[in-house]
Amino acid sequence: MTDLGLALERKTVPVRRTGTRRLHRAAVASVLAAVLVANVAAIVWLWIHGGNLHVRTTGELLTSLGRLTGLLGAFLALVQVLLLARLPWLERLVGFDRLGVWHRWNGHACIDLVLAHVVFTIYGYALMDKLSFLGETWTMLGKGAYPGMITATIGTALLVAVAWSSVVIVRRRLRYEWWYAVHLTAYAAIALGWFHQIPTGNELVLQRIADDYWRSLYVATILLLVGFRVAVPLANALRFRLRVADVVHEAPGVVSLRIAGRRLDRLQAQAGQFFLWLFLTRDRWSASHPFSLSAPPHGRALRITVKDLGDFSRRLAEIRPGTRVLAEGPFGVFTDVVRRSDKVVLIAGGIGITPVRALVEELDCEVAVVYRVLDEADLVFADELDELGAEVHAVVGDHASPGGDRLLSPDHLRELVPDIADRDVFLCGPPAMTRAIERNVRRVGVPRRRVHIERFAL
Mean pLDDT of 119-134: 91
Q: Please give the order of strands across the beta sheet that includes 274-279.
A: 289-292, 274-279, 325-331
Q: Phi and psi (nearest 5°) for 417? A: -135, 85
CB 275 within 8 A of CB 290: yes
In this structure, what DSSP letter does residue 228 have? I
What's the pLDDT score for residue 9? 32
Q: How far is it, in rounded angstroms, from Cα 336 to Cα 344? A: 10
Beta-strand relationship, 366-373 and 343-349: parallel
CB 304 within 8 A of CB 244: no
CB 114 within 8 A of CB 196: no
Q: With 90 as the cut, is the pLDDT of residue 99 above it?
A: no
What's the pLDDT score for residue 410? 92
Q: How far is it, in rounded angstroms, from Cα 279 to Cα 282? A: 9
> Which segment, 188-202, 273-287, 321-335, is predicted with the most confidence on average?
321-335
CB 314 within 8 A of CB 320: no
CB 199 within 8 A of CB 205: yes
Beta bridge partners of 124: none
CB 302 within 8 A of CB 264: yes
Radius of gyration (C-alpha) of the chain in whole angstroms:
26
CA 143, 149, 153, 155 torsion: positive or negative?
positive
Neighbouring C-alpha atoms within 13 Å toward the C-beta of 290: 20
Q: How far is it, in rounded angstroms, from Cα 248 to Cα 375? A: 21
pLDDT-derived band at 311 (thresholds 50, 70, 90) equals low
Q: With 90 as the cut, is the pLDDT of residue 324 above it?
A: yes
In tens, the pLDDT along 209-220 reads 888 888 899 999
Q: With 50 as the cut, is the pLDDT of residue 12 above it?
A: no
Q: With 90 as the cut, is the pLDDT of residue 143 above it?
A: no
Q: With 50 as the cut, is the pLDDT of residue 11 above it?
A: no
Strand stretches in 361-433, DSSP E: 366-373, 391-396, 424-429
Min mean pLDDT across 24-28, 297-301, 388-392 is at 24-28
In tens, the pLDDT along 421-454 reads 999 999 998 888 888 999 999 999 999 989 998 8
What's the pLDDT score for residue 357? 94
Mean pLDDT of 125-129: 91
Q: Alpha helices, DSSP H only, in 273-334? A: 311-315
**Burial per residue of 91-130, b for 16 or more beta-carbon CB atoms within 10 angstroms, e otherwise:** bbbbbbbebeeebeebbeebbebbbbbbebbbbbbbbeee
pLDDT-derived band at 456 (thresholds 50, 70, 90) equals low
Residue 67 parent element (H or E): helix 58-83
Higher pLDDT, 357 or 27: 357
What's the pLDDT score for residue 26? 73
Mean pLDDT of 38-58: 88
Going by C-alpha positions, the residue among 368, 366, 394, 391 that lies closest to residue 380 is 394
Count CB-CB contacts under 10 A for residue 73: 22
At CA 456, angle to CA 450 and CA 458, rounded to 5? Answer: 125
Average pLDDT of the chain is 83
Q: With 70 as the cut, is the pLDDT of residue 157 above it?
A: yes
Mean pLDDT of 326-341: 88
Going by C-alpha positions, the residue among 267, 274, 288 that lies closest to residue 352 is 274
Going by C-alpha positions, the residue among 323, 262, 321, 293 that lies closest to residue 428 is 293
Task: Please measure the distance between the N-terminal and C-terminal CA atoms of the chain and give it in whole angstroms.
Answer: 30
What's the pLDDT score for residue 7? 31
Q: How far is it, in rounded angstroms, from Cα 453 to Cα 325? A: 28
Q: Phi and psi (nearest 5°) for 397? A: 145, 170
Q: With 50 as the cut, is the pLDDT of residue 369 above it?
A: yes
Q: Phi and psi (nearest 5°) for 428? A: -140, 130
CB 21 within 8 A of CB 337: yes
Query: Taking the model in full, what pTM does it have?
Result: 0.75
Mean pLDDT of 219-226: 92
Mean pLDDT of 378-392: 89
